Chains A and B, each alone.
Chain A
Amino acid sequence: MDFKLSEREELLRKSIAEFAQREIVPLVEEMEKTGEFPRSLIKKMGDIGLLGLVTSPEYGGNGMGFLARAIAIEEVSKVSGAVGLALQVHHMACWPIETWGTEEQKKKYLPRLTNGETLGACSITEPSGGSDVFGLQTTAREEGNYWIINGRKCFATNSHVADVIVTVARTGEDEKGRPAFSAFIVEPSFPGFSLGREEHKMGFRGAFTGELIYNDCKVPKENLLGKIGEGLRIGLATVNRVGRSGMASVGVGLCYASLEEASKFAKERVLYGKPISNLQAIQFMLADIFALAETARWLTYRAAWMMDQEMPCDTEMTLAKLVATENAFQCARLACDIHGGYSAIQEYPVQRYLRDAWVSIPSGGTSQVAKVVLGRHVIKNF
């Protein structure tokens, strides 16, 4: 086993941390106020290479892979969980297009998605179901040279900023009579597509979350992603491998953000004539945050590394996501405890970490859904 990150990965962490400090930190306050994603950041994220982490160089990406992506999202999320979320969901559009797309689809969409022209989105959840995939009601029917999509997607990250959306709709039934789904690449300019409500969230403010409405939306036939009936497989694989590892990395970033702020505050805050970091009660909390953060990080890195090795890793991804997002909340809670009354004041970022961590828990499937997956794994394998 080798737990040492390579020189490449260390340099990546450093350069993304510098990027985050220079380009993202100045935007955070405005994002918190408006809830809007700063569009000017997309080109900059493209230029630095963040958008192309899981896309091959032949389609404009850098192909650094999933461990590199975990490190990069962690560093971004340390300064803004919202940008981390937007970035990770963007990869949820890139990866299925490269994995299941035709050569024409890859050439058409991936360069735009990696060079900073636009962000991508991957929208599966509906009011009637997300984790309950058979509850999805959106339909697609063939009509001439088009697929006609009808339905409404909700909780779509990057909803109001993405120009390339990977989505899933019912296209019939399988041989057992269960609903069969297919995946599609949709552009907001297609007739019949419109944006619905934009959610005002308590956390991840600055990352768009909203509704996508398909009202007889005409999607060209060549925008079917994968084969007819493969939609569920594409959607679930994308959520499991890209979405959960991405949310885990956002969680890791929030854990370390809490750790750094808590330590800084504890060393600066003087009570009874000494910094509160001298108090064992505070040291215990700092130790707890550290243990939670390290656990989250290494579970996340292992899962990402397994993905890079092309090993089956759905279980490890789910475990990493469960632990990292739950730990992010605990870390932020402890950091708030250390801050005392200051944690309620917006100038101190720990309250933002707490709000972001709370929203990270149901993103990509609730902790309870993750535990169902993991419980079944335990019963089957131990």
Chain B
Amino acid sequence: MPEAVVCVKPIPDPKHWDRLSLDPKTGVLRRGGIPTVINPLDKHALEIALQLKDNFGWEVTVVSMAPPETTQTLREALAMGADRAFLASDRLLGGADTLATAYTLAGLIKKKAPNFQMILCGNMSLDGSTSQVAPQIAHFLGVPHITHVSKIEAKDGITFKVTMDLKLAQLILEHQGPVVLAVTKEVNLPRLVNIMGILAAEKKPLEVLSAADLDLDLSKIGQNGSPTRVRNLFMPEIKRRREIIKGEPDEVAEELINRLHQVGML
């Protein structure tokens, strides 16, 4: 059966982001015991794979790179209906930038799901927001990629009509063969986890792999393998400014519009 691979990233639950803060000395994010959840867009990606499973009998594999305590988020993906999950977890992988992350995930996919037909990712992670990992995975695996995917039609399970949402225009592409797709939230409404799924997930394989298990080039993983570095991380200072524009109503309105244009609000 064709196989869909879904990349899943555990992130701090956005509901509790008011509790996030930065250590002013180290620049490290203080997570303060905030629970971890699946990056919301990744659930939309998983839903596409699960529909391929429901409609065309595809197999669904979930992959992730994260600390070992995040297995619960992968168990949730299994409870939604995925068949198996692989977690790359190793101290050597820590501090990876997007390129090193994509290299690691591509290595995991080559090792555990080499015959994939489709790799599905969220268009971005809510905590990192780079949108870089999906195209980089495609690069490492030598397959095409389509980002900003807002609609997928799979009439026969072989040919896919994919809508790429470019905001000002929509690009409709038809595709066959292995591909990486990065999806937006418009693509579907992810299913809820049901209790039977939770029980079934306990019997599904969830394997944690080290860097050595994946035969990775150590110079390309983790912080050492990352060509980009975070130089500084800071919370922007948000100040309110008040200015009273005086004059006749028409003049005030015109001036207000000018000012809003100047600050990029219009």
B-contacting residues of A (Cβ < 8 Å)?
7-8, 10-12, 14-15, 18-19, 22, 47-50, 52-53, 62, 64, 68
Pick from B72, B195, B198: contact of A50, CB below 8 A.
B195
Cα–Cα distance between A93 and B142 once the two chains are bound (Å): 58
In whole Å, how far is A290's beta carbon from the nearest beta carbon of chain B?
16
A15–B79 contact, CB under 8 A?
A: yes
Residues of A within 8 A of B195 (CB): 12, 15, 48-50, 52-53, 62, 64, 68
A18–B75 contact, CB under 8 A?
A: no
Number of A-B residue pairs, CB cutoff 8 Å, is: 44
Any A CB within 8 A of the CB of B202: yes
A11–B198 contact, CB under 8 A?
A: yes
Nearest-CB residue, chain A, relative to B13: A14
Residues of A within 8 A of B245 (CB): none
Pick from B72, B192, B199, B202: contact of A10, CB below 8 A.
B72
Nearest-CB residue, chain A, relative to B18: A267
In whole Å, how far is B19's beta carbon from the nearest beta carbon of chain A?
11
6 example contacts (A-B, Cβ-Cβ < 8 A) are as follows A10-B72, A15-B79, A15-B194, A49-B194, A62-B195, A68-B195
Any A CB within 8 A of the CB of B90: no
Q: 7 smallest A-B Cβ distances: which pairs?
A: A49-B195, A15-B193, A48-B194, A62-B195, A49-B194, A11-B198, A19-B192
8 additional A-B residue pairs with CB within 8 Å, beyond A15-B76, A47-B194: A11-B193, A11-B198, A11-B201, A15-B198, A22-B192, A48-B192, A49-B196, A62-B195
Nearest-CB residue, chain A, relative to B190: A18
Residues of A within 8 A of B201 (CB): 11
A-contacting residues of B (Cβ < 8 Å)?
72, 75-76, 79, 192-196, 198-199, 201-202
Residues of B within 8 A of A8 (CB): 198-199, 202
Residues of B within 8 A of A48 (CB): 192, 194-195
In whole Å, how far is A91's beta carbon from the nearest beta carbon of chain B?
14
Residues of A within 8 A of B79 (CB): 11, 15
Cα–Cα distance between A48 and B72 once the two chains are bound (Å): 19
Given A7-B72, A11-B72, the answer on whether A18 and B193 have CB atoms closer than 8 Å is: yes
Residues of B within 8 A of A49 (CB): 194-196
In whole Å, how far is B250's beta carbon from the nearest beta carbon of chain A?
36
* Chain A interface main SS type: helix
Given A8-B202, A62-B199, the answer on whether A15 and B192 have CB atoms closer than 8 Å is: yes
A14–B76 contact, CB under 8 A?
A: yes
Residues of A within 8 A of B192 (CB): 15, 18-19, 22, 48
Cα–Cα distance between A22 and B191 once the two chains are bound (Å): 11
In whole Å, how far is A117's beta carbon from the nearest beta carbon of chain B?
16
Residues of A within 8 A of B199 (CB): 8, 62, 64
Nearest-CB residue, chain A, relative to B202: A8
Residues of B within 8 A of A15 (CB): 76, 79, 192-195, 198
Cα–Cα distance between A12 and B194 once the two chains are bound (Å): 8
Residues of B within 8 A of A19 (CB): 192
Residues of B within 8 A of A64 (CB): 195, 199
Cα–Cα distance between A53 and B196 once the two chains are bound (Å): 10
Cα–Cα distance between A87 and B211 once the two chains are bound (Å): 48
Residues of B within 8 A of A22 (CB): 192
In whole Å, how far is A354's beta carbon from the nearest beta carbon of chain B?
25
Residues of B within 8 A of A18 (CB): 192-193
Of B76, B79, B192, which is in contact with the most chain A CB atoms at under 10 Å from its CB?
Answer: B192
Cα–Cα distance between A62 and B197 once the two chains are bound (Å): 10
Residues of B within 8 A of A62 (CB): 195-196, 199
Residues of A within 8 A of B193 (CB): 11, 14-15, 18
In whole Å, how far is A70's beta carbon from the nearest beta carbon of chain B?
14
Cα–Cα distance between A64 and B199 once the two chains are bound (Å): 9
Residues of B within 8 A of A68 (CB): 195
Cα–Cα distance between A52 and B195 once the two chains are bound (Å): 9
Nearest-CB residue, chain A, relative to B35: A14
Residues of B within 8 A of A11 (CB): 72, 75-76, 79, 193, 198, 201
Nearest-CB residue, chain B, relative to A48: B194
Cα–Cα distance between A185 and B82 once the two chains are bound (Å): 40
Cα–Cα distance between A22 and B192 once the two chains are bound (Å): 9
In whole Å, how far is B236's beta carbon from the nearest beta carbon of chain A?
21
Cα–Cα distance between A12 and B202 once the two chains are bound (Å): 12
Cα–Cα distance between A66 and B41 once the two chains are bound (Å): 34
Residues of A within 8 A of B198 (CB): 8, 11-12, 15
Nearest-CB residue, chain B, relative to A46: B194
Cα–Cα distance between A22 and B43 once the two chains are bound (Å): 15
Residues of B within 8 A of A47 (CB): 194
Nearest-CB residue, chain B, relative to A72: B195
Nearest-CB residue, chain B, relative to A7: B72
B75–A7 contact, CB under 8 A?
A: yes
